[in-house]
Chains A and B, each alone.
Chain A
């Protein structure tokens, strides 16, 4: 038999959860007996026949307990224990002495050398078993504790690593803000050192920090970033984006507060706000400039038409007066000349009147909006055009027309101009016929005023809506402003106007009116 051998106590193979035990005795029979006694423990038992052997095994193994025979040749149990004790790795290994002598001196020496117990020969198996069992269990719980401690350390290390790696400054506090932990970004952001911060209240750094109150706000997903102020060590401040989220530690609620320096964001927002305000201001300025220039233009047109009216009225009346005064004394040629003056003065007078009317229509946004019955408007318009209608033998027909939200005087202008145009620009071949109808559309109504007159070439379909634009000579008594007035009026009412025509057979003037007009206030 070799001087040292390893024995698996019991039948199981060596496992990580089995602890190692060492039995040292110079008598092999004793060792076999010990092995037999300890078998029920099912642990890994190593055997040594002398102190030297025991020491060597102690170098390589960590034993839960050593059973050491006191009386051995060369190096006795006490000497061996002393050597085992003196080695660092076995410094705390519990030793049970096995001895045949009950002497106080021996006991004291044994205990001095770190013996945890004495067992007296003859060994009582039950006592040995129960004592060794205690050490086995002790070792087991030690190992468990160590493993748990290591796990804990690893977890904590991981946690700190995560905390360190976080892109933002993170501070972990108690519920009321006492700083427990902070990452290095906190140092950078607040120019502080963590050692000083730990234990202080987070309000030193963020005076507005508030403890989380129970309720929905306690729910982490509900946490939104707050804008608060961060205070650096030197007292300077910066805008901080703060997010708090609670987590339940074993015995308390802790709060993680992440802090972001949002200076750049805040500045960018301020710049955007500033440029928005600037943009709004410019738009307002332009609008004001434009509407004042529109207003100025209207004023000018009005004043010009008014100031031109006076002299032309005078020219006209005096030409008539002169003609009346010298009537009968003029040759036909001279009378013709005077007639030319009268005609042209009269025409100019008419144009100025039309121009004033145009200005009046485009100013009429201030007029009252009200439901207007288009049937009544057309009826009234036809009545005012009765002379023209009778002279030309025209007929005006209309289907049932809607009641629309509108400004009545503008609508009167539109129908009056379209109907009289339809009659004026009639074909020589047939009596004028005007048909007025209306159809509901998605956005409101589409009105059509159809005539059987001369028609308009498609290339003039835009041109005719311009001020003083005419396609005819004095043959037709137009001022060239009627359609401009229609366009201005329809646009004031929120619609648009266009013409569809077949030259030679007639035109259809269409205009739309919205069902829900945007009641603009004219500036």
Chain B
């Protein structure tokens, strides 16, 4: 996989309000031996701001967007909308994260530009394996 970053790491924009999940996601990435830099935002507003600025005025463009479905002050869908409006993020995979979603919620997210839905399983082993594998798959798909 290729990276645009000077240090060769993968830049991931994460919108997640649950710090416990941030740790778990980081653990999952580590276990995939992924060299990553996490651009973490706790609220939808923060994440939307960050998404708008990606690639503007020399600011870096992430290789992956991981967006929690439910966030304080907004939804992952709002961030997807902001991302869709930024042409610099056109080819960047965007995943929606949640414990579970109803089928119509998944469909809405796909329509809004999500590449896929990543479930957060209620079991440590499953979580680490599934999230890690999906992230890796998305990054590989992008560079393939």
Contact = CB atoms under 8 A, between A and B. Distances in A.
Interface of A: 306, 309-310, 312-314, 316-318, 320-321, 324, 346, 349, 356, 360
Contacts of B102: 360
Interface stretch (B18-26, B34-42, B82-90, B106-114): B18-26
A51 B127 CA distance: 152
Interface in B11-60: 18, 20-21, 24, 27
B83 to A, nearest CB: 24
B20 A314 contact: yes
Interface stretch (B1-9, B73-81, B117-125, B136-144): B117-125
A306 B102 CA distance: 11
A123 B123 CA distance: 154
Q: What 10 A-B pairs have minimum CB-CB distances, sorted nearest first?
A: A320-B124, A313-B122, A314-B20, A317-B124, A349-B122, A309-B99, A321-B124, A316-B122, A317-B127, A313-B99
Nearest to A323: B124
A306 B69 CA distance: 12
Contacts of B125: 320
B123 A316 contact: yes
A317 B100 contact: no
Contacts of B99: 306, 309-310, 313
Given A314-B18, A314-B20, A309 B127 contact: no
Contacts of A306: 99-100
A321 B124 CA distance: 6
A354 B18 CA distance: 24
Contacts of A324: 124
B90 to A, nearest CB: 32
Given A310-B18, A314-B18, A314-B21, A356 B123 contact: no
A231 B64 CA distance: 87
Nearest to B21: A314
A317 B123 contact: yes
Nearest to A317: B124
Nearest to B125: A320
A72 to B, nearest CB: 135
Contacts of B20: 314, 317-318
B100 A312 contact: no
Given A309-B122, A313-B122, 4 more contacts: A309-B100, A313-B120, A314-B18, A321-B124
Of A309, A312, A313, A346, most buried by chain B (CB within 10 Å of CB) is: A313
Nearest to A345: B122
Contacts of B21: 314
A397 to B, nearest CB: 34
Of A309, A314, A360, most buried by chain B (CB within 10 Å of CB) is: A314
A314 B122 CA distance: 7
A175 to B, nearest CB: 74
A484 B137 CA distance: 40
A59 B106 CA distance: 125
B57 to A, nearest CB: 36
Nearest to B102: A360
Contacts of A317: 20, 24, 122-124, 127
7 contacts: A306-B99, A314-B18, A316-B122, A317-B122, A320-B125, A321-B27, A349-B122
Interface in B120-135: 120, 122-125, 127
A356 B100 contact: yes
